[in-house]
Amino acid sequence: MLAALLIVFREVFEAGLIVGIIMAVTAGVLGRGLWVSAGVAAGVIGACLVALFTGGLSQLFGGSGQEVFNAGILSFAVIMLTWHNVWMARHGRELAAELKAAGEAVVAGSKSLAALAVVVAIAVLREGSEVVLFLYGVAAAQGGASWGMALGGCIGLVLGSLVCLATYLGLVTIPARYLFGVTSTLIAFLAAGLAAQAIAFLQQAAIVTTLDQTVWDTSWLLSDSSLLGRALHTLIGYVDQPTAMQLIVYAATLATIVVLMKLFSAPPRHRPQTA
């Protein structure tokens, strides 16, 4: 029971941090509950499918199927987060300031929601597939699911969900005029962390091998397997022994997001020149 509780809590906790941020980012947007729920549901279904096909997946790409798959979906999440931030930089103020036609705003807003729902789905899928595999393995080993396992799983789920709720409630107490800046920053760091994680998978598969020397070691200060370390790993990509390549990708992702946000940010309003 304790093992089930710990594993379920740990995975729900990690997915919950991301879902909590996305909930805060989309606070007040019409229809966001539906999109986020759809993302969670898609993630759960995806997790079951991934768990079901893990055997086949592992055999792809010369035995590196899992790594390539993880790197692929993480990269996709990075693109979605980047797109969201750039979109918000362009339209966020515009929407608020100019009161565009309501219909257009809803359509445009839902595009950005869809991107974030994909991120929610990927977060749930990644953490959820481990839960499914673990619980299935335990159930198979003891010849069926037990009450202890179910109870442990449920407690883990509830505790993990509380983290999600706390993240959300913590973020929405930020005054509205700062919220945009705070969430954009959070999303940029989240994206950079996910990109570095994608590279770590490619390094584990020996697909990326250049610049694989460890740059620093802060495991004595904060291990990335401790609870705080895990939280920071999920939120900003904290790694206690990063490789040079991970750091370069992290910095490059952050820089790309900042540059794109500047490039596409809403231009200052020009009045037509009347000579």
Question: What is the distance between the alpha carbons of residues 191 and 205, in angstroms, rounded to a whole number?
Answer: 21
The CA-CA-CA angle for residues 169, 17, 92, to 5°, reads: 65
Interface with another protein includes 222 (CB under 8 A)? no
- Options 209, 216, 252, 263; binder of another protein; rule CB under 8 A: 209
Interface with another protein includes 137 (CB under 8 A)? yes
Grouping H, G, I as helix, E, B as strand and the rest as coil, residue 243 is strand
Count how many Cα atoms sit within 13 Å of the Cα of residue 254 in the half-sphere of its side chain. Answer: 15
CB of 99 to another protein, least distance (A): 40
Interface with another protein includes 197 (CB under 8 A)? no
Interface with another protein includes 127 (CB under 8 A)? no
Question: What is the distance between the alpha carbons of residues 87 and 27, in angstroms, rounded to a whole number?
Answer: 16
CB of 111 to another protein, least distance (A): 23
| Neighbouring residues of 21: CB distance < 8 A, sequence distance ≥ 6 | 167, 168, 171, 183, 186, 187, 190, 235
**Residues numbered 150-189 forming contacts with another protein, rule: CB under 8 A:** none
Question: What is the distance between the alpha carbons of residues 164 and 166, in angstroms, rounded to a whole number?
Answer: 6
Locate tokens 């991970």: which residue?
246
Question: What is the distance between the alpha carbons of residues 21 and 81, in angstroms, rounded to a whole number?
Answer: 12
- Kindly tell me which of 94 and 224 has the beta carbon lying closer to another protein: 224
CB of 66 to another protein, least distance (A): 6
- Options 37, 185, 210, 214; binder of another protein; rule CB under 8 A: 214
**Residue (of 130, 255, 243, 245) closest to 191 by Cα position:** 255
- Options 44, 145, 207, 231; binder of another protein; rule CB under 8 A: 207
Interface with another protein includes 63 (CB under 8 A)? yes
- Letters for 33-62 (x = contact with another protein by CB under 8 A, - = none) are ---------------------xx--xx-xx
Q: Give the interface with another protein as residue ranges (CB under 8 A).
A: 3, 7, 54-55, 58-59, 61-64, 66-68, 130, 133-134, 136-138, 140-141, 200, 203-207, 209, 212-214, 223-225, 239, 241, 243
